[in-house]
Chain A
C-alpha cells in the first residue's frame, strides 16, 4: 500500500509542473546537431529506459524524460533531461546520483559535475540533466561546455532551491545538504526533508533536517512519542535501530529535526538552540 502510495504520489508530482508549463525540448547548442528525433518517457514507461532505477525518480516526483542524441562530427552525446516537477525534487535526485569524489564544475546551471569517463550531470531549476558520451572522443572540457549550453537553453533559474537555506549554517559539514523525497532515515513518516550533517566540538556527527510534517507524523502515537512544550510547540521523538534517537520540534507548518544522537536530552538541546 505504501509503495503504491509512493508511486502514485510521484505520479501526482509528475503533473505538478502543471499543464500550463511549456513543452520542453532538449536544447541543441550551436555546433551540434540532433540525431534522429526526441524520445519522451512518462510515468508509465520510464522503466523502459532506466529499468528499476525508475523507482527512485518516481519517488522524487518525476514528470517526464526527454532524450535526444546530439552529434558533432564523429562525436556523439546522449542528452537526457529529467523534468522532476520542481527544483527541490530535481536537487534531491541530483544529490543522490552525484558522485561524492568528483568536484563540481562552476558556472554550469545551478550545479554540475563530471563523472569520468563518460558522463556529466547537471541541475537547473526543475530539470536534472545527464550528458553521456555515446561515441567519439569527447574531452571533459567539451562535455562541460555542452552541459553549460544545454543549461542555458532550458527554462528556469540557475540558483539552488531556496528551501536549502532553512538549515542553520553553524557546524554544518561542507557539501552535505541534500533533499530526501521520502523515507528519510529509513522511516516512512519522514518525507520531503531537507537535511545536512553537522558536527559537535567533540567530533560527534548528527543530522539536522527540516520538513513540513504530514498528517501521519502529527497523529501517530503508536510509533512516536510526543510532548507539548511550554511555548506551544510539539516535541516528537522515537528510536531508530542502530542509530539512537530522532526528535523533531515545531508545529504543524514546519518542524526542525535531529538524528543520529544517542541521547534524547542532547537532541532536545540542539533543537532548541537551532530553533529557539
Chain B
C-alpha cells in the first residue's frame, strides 16, 4: 500500500489493496492492519490472554442480567455513526451490543445498523433501540414507531426497547408503553423491555437513580442504560446494586467525562485540540482571524465549566498518576469495567480508530492503587450510603420516620446541589422529620443491613435541610 500509483503491477495481483480481498478477508488481522491503528496496551495494567501481536478484539463477556445474553464488556453507542462499515468492523472484532434510538439522526443511526445487518449473524448480536415518550403517545403510536424502527434496522425483532431518557417518575409506569411492549412481545418483534435515564431535567424532575430504582422495583424492565463513572459514582452504584439484586441487565454511558487540564489558547502554537477547532472553523468558511476570535471567546465562556470538571477529576488523576487525556479516558473506562455489576459500557463509537483504541481495554481492569481505591470506595459506600429503595430500618424507628426518604433529600442537597428543592421537600414532611431523633435513644442502631449509622446520618440530614 505504500507503493505510489503508476509504478507497480495491477492492484488485484498485490497483497493489500484489492476490493475482493477486503470483501473476503473477514479476519480481524486484515482489518486491524487496514486501519493501521491497533492501539497500545498499557504496560502497567492486566492484559487479556493472547500475544501482543494479535489484533485487539473483545476478551470478556458478561451475562446481561435476566436477558441471559452474553454481552461483550464493551458495547457500541451508535448515536454518531455515519458509516455502516464501522458497525460491521465493531462486530468483526467481537462487539455484540449495539445501542441506538429512534431520535439518533431521526432514524439515520438505525438505518446505518440496518445496512450492516447482512454482515452480522442476527442471533449473535443484541440490538437496543429507544423511544421517547415525554409527549405520552398512545399504545398504537408506540407500536407504529417501533415498527418503523424495525424497518430501518432491517431485522424482524429488537432485543430490547427502552423508554428513552426518562426524567419523570410517573413515566416509569406509563401503561401505554408497557401495553405496546406486551403486544410486540406477543408478535415476536421484541424480546425485552428497558429504560434509560440521564439525570434530572427541567425545574423539578426526578434524578436518575430515583427513576431507575423505581424501574427496578416495578419489575417489568429487564435491562437499563445509566450514567456511571468516577465523577458520578454514587447514583450509579445505587442503581447497580439494585439491579444486581433483581438480576436486571446494565449498560453504561458517560463513563469518561473528566478532563486532565485546563485547555490553554496560544494562537501561535495551538495545541492539537485547538488546531482541531481551527481546522473545522476554517473548513466551514471562517477566516483565520475570525476563527481565532471565536476560539478565544469560547475559551473564556467555558472556563468555569472546565474548572469544575477539572476539580472533579483531580483526585482520580492524582491517585492514578495520570498524565494525558487519553490515559484519563482509558482509566475512566477501566474503572467501570472492573465492576462486574456493570455488564457493558456503551461509548459512542463512530470511527474505526475509536474502535481500535477501546478494544484493548476489553478484559482489562485497574490494578494496584486503582483497585485499592475502588475497594475503599465500595467499603465506604456500604457504610455511608443509604440505598433509598430499601426500607429495612423503618420498623426499628418508634416514630416511623421515612429514613430512606430523608436521606434521599440530603443526597439531593449534598450531591446534586439542589438545596432549595431538597429543603422544600423536607419541609413537606411536616412532623415526620428527624427532629424526633433528638429525644430518642436510637433503637435503630444496627438496623441497617448496609451498616449505615442511621441516627447520625439523620442528624446530619436534619441540620442540612433545616439550616439548623
Contacts and interface: CB of A to CB of B under 8 A. Distances in A.
B350 A183 contact: yes
A89 interface: yes
A97 B102 CA distance: 11
A140 interface: no
Interface string B264-278: 000000001101110
Contacts of B302: 11
Interface size band for A = 35 or more
A6 to B, nearest CB: 8
Interface stretch (A23-31, A104-112, A143-151, A233-241): A233-241
Contacts of B325: 1, 4
B173 to A, nearest CB: 20
A32 interface: no
A262 B198 contact: no
Interface string A185-222: 11110011000000000000000000111111000001
Nearest to B22: A242
A77 interface: no
A9 B284 contact: no
A18 B77 CA distance: 32
Nearest to A16: B294
Interface centre among A8, A97, A186, by most chain B C-beta atoms within 10 angstroms, is: A186
B465 to A, nearest CB: 26
Interface string A65-103: 000000000000000000000101100000011110000
A273 interface: no
A217 B365 CA distance: 33
A54 to B, nearest CB: 8
A9 B80 contact: no
Interface in B92-121: 101, 103-108
A244 to B, nearest CB: 5
20 contacts: A3-B256, A4-B329, A9-B273, A16-B281, A16-B286, A18-B290, A19-B297, A52-B101, A134-B135, A163-B284, A212-B283, A240-B35, A240-B352, A242-B85, A242-B88, A244-B22, A262-B17, A264-B5, A265-B5, A265-B10
Given A9-B280, A183-B350, A215-B275, A56 B79 contact: yes
Interface majority SS (helix, strand, loop, mixed), chain A: mixed
B6 interface: yes
Contacts of B31: 241
Interface of A: 1-6, 8-9, 11-16, 18-19, 44, 47-48, 50-53, 55-56, 59, 61, 86, 88-89, 96-99, 115, 121, 134, 163, 180-188, 191-192, 211-216, 222-223, 225, 227, 235, 237-245, 261-265, 267-268
B20 interface: yes
A191 B22 contact: no
B353 interface: yes
Contacts of B324: 1
Given A56-B79, A263-B11, A245 B297 contact: no
A89 B284 CA distance: 8
B34 interface: yes
A94 to B, nearest CB: 10
A12 B279 contact: no
A265 B281 contact: no
Most chain B beta-carbon contacts within 10 A, residue among A185, A213, A261: A185
A239 B16 contact: yes
Contacts of B263: 8
A268 B105 contact: no
Given A12-B294, A99-B106, A225-B1, A187 B353 contact: yes
Nearest to B197: A51
B42 to A, nearest CB: 15
A225 B165 CA distance: 44
B298 A56 contact: no
B183 interface: no
Pick the most buried of B31, B81, B82, B165: most chain A CB atoms within 10 A of its CB.
B82
